[in-house]
Chain A
Amino acid sequence: MSGHVSSCRAIVPMIQLFHVSKFYDRCTALDDVSFRIDKGECVILTGPSGAGKTTLLKVIFGAEIPDAGQILVQNRNIARLRGGAIPYLRRTMGIVLQNFQLLSKKTVYDNVVLPLIIQGVKRREARTRVLDTLKAVSMDHKRTVRTGVLSAGEQQRICIARAIVNSPILLLADEPTGNLDAELAVEIVELFKKIHAQGTTILLATHNQRVVEQMNGRVVHLQAGRVVSEEGAMS
């Protein structure tokens, strides 16, 4: 019976967008966007600058409210979520941004442990999880260093560590290699592939073609706020 269940694994939707539109002062950021990402899938959101990639990620993690359409994340309608529910939604996600968003005066450990403190994880358990995560991103040797003195590549690793430390089911990344040179970008993409291999759903926005090729996921191409093409196999 269990063998039958595992062989016919149900496709569970993680993110569903239905005719989502977003405008900023009469400028269209998203125009009637509809697509779906299933659990465990890796989707690369690509397109030129200003195509609406960042806005799309922002409406998914609740930083922006769409002007039209519905967004279901883990079957919860983000467009209808009240402000007080947003932090709890974000705790189920990991978010990696281009500009790192780290607390530069705090140490690597203090930055990575923050999501666990926010969720009320016990100190001892939090410590174990942080050290394991830092090991996974090869940054455990720098845990006592302030993040402000780290290199760009190291800061992005710490940012990824903070995003995955609470084992999120969904990882959102906006241009995670945007501030990195080609060599470091390869390392970071490998890290994302490793995280995806462990079952985490990934939605990564990038305009870097090498990253798109390296990630080898489904590619959703945005242009002027519209989905113009989708390539790659669905999960």
Chain B
Amino acid sequence: MRPLYLLREAVTNLRVNRGNVMIGIVTTAFTLVCFGMFLLLYLNIKNLTGTLQSDMEVVVYLDSEASEQVVSLVQKRLRSEPAAVALTFVSKEQALRDFSEQFPEESLLLEGMEGNPLPSSVVVSLSPQFLDAESLSAFAERVKQFPGVIHVAYSQDWIDTLALVISYFELGAVLIGMILAVATVTIIANTIRLSLHTRKEEIEILRLIGATGVFIAIPYVIEGTILGAVGGGLSLALLKGIFEFFRLELNASGWFGGMEHILPVFPRQVSFLLVMTGMLLGCGSSLLSIFGLMKVRN
């Protein structure tokens, strides 16, 4: 068998059957764009929730009457907790300054009060493996028992909702991903099958003169793979364009108050995955179609 001959045949076929090839490329590109958009949406939400989760902190409020000894004991005990990765002590004075900076309009409320009503606190950053609702709850319950601790604050509802949203989204991702994958394979396989039907006579001639199934199939499979790769590349370009447009719009809108940087994620793996998926789809669809056509003995 001559590999160069088979490759040349594939390239010639692509050139000669330009119309069908273009339809195949555009179909592949658009179906992969749908798939890629969903994939990007999923990855971005996962990334966003991951970032928000990693920023999650627990604030341990201390009794204003607690002595320095008690405060340092609380910090010591917090440090020995496996969930705690970093501690930041916020004194009463610091808390007041932070409040005034964050809520300048409400700072008047404090002016009428005697002394500083805000308690000192310890802000605890948690290790990622302890960020689930159950671990957080257990941690808070333990810390509440420490002498000198009056309150432990963390967004329990937020954590629970986030966990629920992620699990629903993952389930949805698997289901929609599967539906899109099946739809993509079906569309591409049918496009290639249609293109092969127009070349049925060519296949019959090759069989008549003693070509084996493999000899006939190889150029079609190469052709399908090239078609899929080009379709994948085109979908990548389209997706990147849509993505950049979306990112610019998002930055201009200011909806995310300076947090836009954590939203737009276009991982390299997605680019690689799209082109590889295109190639695999093209190759697989060609194989399905060609062997379907060659089942008939003639």
Nearest-neighbour CB distance to chain B for A77, whole angstroms, equals 16
Q: Which of B2, B209, B297 contacts A65 (CB 8 A)?
A: B297
| Neighbouring A residues of B1 by C-beta, 8 Å | 120
Known: A105-B16, A117-B2, A117-B5. A83 touches B297 (CB 8 A): yes
B209 engages A90 (CB within 8 Å): yes
Complex interface: chain A residues within 8 A of B201 (CB): 101
Q: Is the CB of A95 within 8 A of B208?
A: yes
A82 to B208, CA, bound (A): 16
Chain B residues with CB below 8 A from A62, complex form: 297
**Chain B minimum-CB-distance residue to A162:** B209
Q: How far is the CB of A112 from chain B (nearest CB, A)?
A: 10
CB pair B2 A95 closer than 8 Å: no
A58 to B297: give the CA distance in the assembly, Å. 11
B205 close to A (CB within 8 Å): yes
Give chain B residues whose Cβ lies under 8 Å from the Cβ of A115.
209-210
Tier of interface size on chain B: 10 to 19
Q: Are B297 and A87 in contact (CB under 8 A)?
A: no
Is the C-beta of A24 less than 8 angstroms from some C-beta in chain B? no
List the B residue with the shortest CB-CB distance to A86: B297
Q: Taking the complex as formed, is A12 at the interface, i.e. its CB lies under 8 A from any CB of chain B?
A: no
Q: Which residue of chain B has the shortest Cβ distance to A168 in the bound complex?
A: B210
B73 in the interface, Cβ–Cβ < 8 Å?
A: no
A118/B297 contact (C-beta < 8 A), A90-B208, A101-B208, A103-B205 known: no
Per the bound structure, the CA–CA distance linking A171 and B204 in Å amounts to: 18
Q: A63-B297, A63-B298 are in contact. Are A118 and B205 (CB under 8 A)?
A: no
Which residues of chain B from 5 to 34 have a CB within 8 Å of any chain A CB?
A: 5, 16
Q: A119 contacts B210, CB within 8 Å?
A: yes
**Residue of chain B at shortest CB distance from A95:** B208
In the complex, whether B202 has a CB less than 8 A from a CB of chain A is yes
Choice from A91, A114, A119 contacting B206 with Cβ under 8 Å: A114
Closest beta carbon of chain B to A159's beta carbon, Å: 10
* B-binding residues in A (CB < 8 A): 58, 61-65, 83-84, 86-91, 95, 97, 101-103, 105, 114-115, 117-120, 123, 162
Chain B residues with CB under 8 Å of chain A are 1-2, 5, 16, 201-202, 204-213, 215, 297-298
